[in-house]
Amino acid sequence: MRNKAAALLTIAILLGLAGIGKMVHAEAKKPVIARIAEVMANQGAEISQWTLYSKKQESLAGKNPLKYVQRFTAEQRLFHWSFDYKDNFVKAIGTRYNSQMKSFEKLQVISTLTKGNSQAYILYQAQGKGGRRDWNKITQVFGQQSFDILKEKTAIFSCMNGQFGDKIEGVLQLKAEALLHEFNAVPREKAEEKDFVSVSALTSEWDLSIPAKEGKMNIQIALRNAGIGEKPTVVIGTPIITTEY
């Protein structure tokens, strides 16, 4: 059940981003991940983890889903692969360490049936720890790796986790507003609890966006006050947060 749930979660993320899989970022002064790191530093947050994603969806009409996965993983032989075979899907997960980005890479390919038609979903991810990185180089290397794997130029999704050294002065909402102001972002959706705030917003700093209840969104910010002795945390993702928060 757990494996099936994990596979379904992966598919849900892929489907949720399906509409923007072939979009690319507009020219910017710096990579989105670098801009997020800059804002984190401005707001006194220490980067604990960063993640870059890209994805692709492909129709397998007339093709054998199992053979597709087997061929794909054979081509990506530098990854270490594990497989999960179910009645309604085949899933393979490959991992390796990338010394150029100093990050761990995960490559997932899922072949499943969608309304009777076989579909393949490919999700490529690089995840590293800490800040003080050459974000231009990381984005360049990731983009090239993504192109080599997916065989096309796709959107790059960014997500960054951080923590504050001390308890956040004032309420979390004020810190969320300060972060939104850094990105010149307009709130679209919001969720608030005593020790948690999540805001989805739209910034003009990049074009990548997805539909929201109120127009479009292309950035999500989450703040959480941890328990006694724990540091407050922040997660920023474009266009949505794709890590646990």
Q: Write out pLDDT tens, residues 81-130.
A: 999 998 888 999 999 999 999 999 999 999 987 667 889 999 999 999 99
Q: Would you state the pLDDT for residue 61?
A: 86
In a domain, 144, yes or no: yes
Residue range 140-156: mean pLDDT, rounded: 96
Residue 167 maps to a domain: yes
**pLDDT tens, residue by residue, 67-86:** 999 999 999 999 999 999 98
Tell me whether residue 115 is in a domain. Answer: yes
> Does 243 map to a domain?
no
CATH number at residue 9: 3.30.2030.10
**pLDDT interval class at 241 (50, 70, 90):** confident
Query: Residue 203 falls within a domain, yes or no?
Result: yes
pTM: 0.85
Residue length of the chain? 245
In a domain, 245, yes or no: no
Q: How many Cβ atoms from other residues are within 10 Å of residue 25's Cβ?
A: 17
Q: For residue 179, what are the domain limits? A: 2-238
The stretch 179-196 carries a mean pLDDT of 93
The rounded distance, in Å, linking the Cα atoms of 20 and 12 is 14
User: Is the omega angle on the peptide bond into residue 187 within 30 degrees of 0, that is, cis?
Assistant: no
C-alpha span between 114 and 68 (Å, rounded):
16
Residue 226 lies in a domain: yes
Across all residues in the chain, what is the average pLDDT? 86
Nearest to 210 by CA among 141, 128, 155: 155
Which residues have CB under 8 Å from 3's CB, separation 6+? 84, 86
Span 151-172, average pLDDT: 86
Residue 244 inside a domain? The answer is no
pLDDT of residue 91: 95
Other beta carbons within 10 Å of 31: 22
- Highest mean pLDDT (candidates 68-82, 168-182, 218-232): 68-82
What are the tens digits of pLDDT across the range 12-34? Answer: 455 455 555 444 444 446 899 99
Total number of domains in the chain? 1
Residue 235: per-residue pLDDT: 97
Instruction: Specify the pLDDT at position 200.
Output: 95
Query: Best-predicted range by mean pLDDT among 68-77, 158-167, 188-197?
Result: 68-77
